[in-house]
Amino acid sequence: MRRRGESGGAGERDGGRRSPAAPSRRSLLGLGGAMAASLATAPRAAAGPRNTLGAAPRSPQAPTADGPFDLSLPSTRRIAEQPLHHTTVMQSFAFDESNRHIYAVQVISGNVQLPGESRAYTHAERSLAGDLCMNRLTWDGTLLDRMYLKGFGHGTVMAVEDAPAGAAPVMLWTECDVNPESGYGRAVGRFPYAADTVLHSGDPSVTAYWPLPGTTNNAAALDQDGRRLLLRYGLPGLRRYALYDLDAFVAGRFVRQADFAQPGTELALPFQGMTLHGDYAYQMLGHTHDPDVPPPDRGDTQLFCIDVRTGEVVQQVLSDTVYALNLREPEGLSVLRGEGPRLYMGYASGPVGGRKLSLYSIE
């Protein structure tokens, strides 16, 4: 793992448990799941620049002229109830517009044994260990392949880095350095997608960023037109957002342009995703909804539009998109820039052991 920042300080503390029997570098998967190779652990690089919670934020600059999406508009279906490689809930998704692929991440199912592991693990063990399956799909939602991520986190938010069509490798972002007490990441990771491999959070190909040491529940969304990154982070009893220049962040310079409290925490709803587009962040909160359980309603999914220059809520709506899906759960937000742009909402549906992905959009 290449490090940017340091992981000490206050906040949630590691309980000492490790990801189940995890090799520390990428292991190749042969057909049928047999391991072709296993690599040894490599030493970590020296720590990069450190930022502290007391750093003064800079004033953000408007990166685009786009106004906010109107969250009250009706949505359009793109993908309906597509199965992924595992039967667990999709946690988040993102678009690779250059290569016309969709990536979706989920916690590994129970009773799966990966190459290099001594046994299969339960879903609960996988969840606490931060073990994920990254799915790659075609533009219309057909499954292509997958990659396994060990010790990363919950996959609450992910992003695909811009690159020319055909450029290799495709670089992905998600949380990493799992806190084994919670199953969520304490850092943000950037790494190459490699189909049919197993990648551990400590592998040298993963660049890990600790912009605010001591925080947890870290997640990052990218606005690649405006070259900015929005970090969601947690402290005991608090959830906040911090805005950064993307190129400076990649270089390990963590100077905040804005820092504000996450809106809507008083609703006590599960956080289900976020994205960033121009001067506006979007977040989704809500529980799983079963339309067959009385009283009849349309669920509690809340969509927010937030002005990142001020931290103020521009719009908040109760979203009833596909409320009639069996066991609908909101899971992830992403912006597709080349077709509109459009704000996409992800939903999981179906019974336990048979969860599927759906994507709907607002223009």
List, for residues 175-223, the tens digit of each pLDDT value: 999 999 999 999 999 999 999 999 999 999 999 999 999 999 999 999 9
Cα distances from 142 to residues 73, 82, 309, in angstroms, run 28, 8, 38
Domain ranges, ordered by start, for the chain: 2-11+71-362
Closest CA to 87 of 120, 123, 114: 123
pLDDT tens digits, one per residue of 107-160? 999 999 999 999 999 999 999 999 999 999 999 999 999 999 999 999 999 999
CATH topology of domain 2-11+71-362: Tachylectin-2; Chain A (2.115.10)
Residue 36 pLDDT exceeds 70: no
CA distance 26 to 56: 38
**Distance, CA of 107 to CA of 355 (rounded, Å):** 12
How far is the C-alpha of 363 from the C-alpha of 361, rounded, in Å? 7
Among 2-11, 308-317, 353-362, the range scoring the smallest mean pLDDT is: 2-11
pTM for this one?
0.85
Per DSSP, the three-state class of 21 is coil
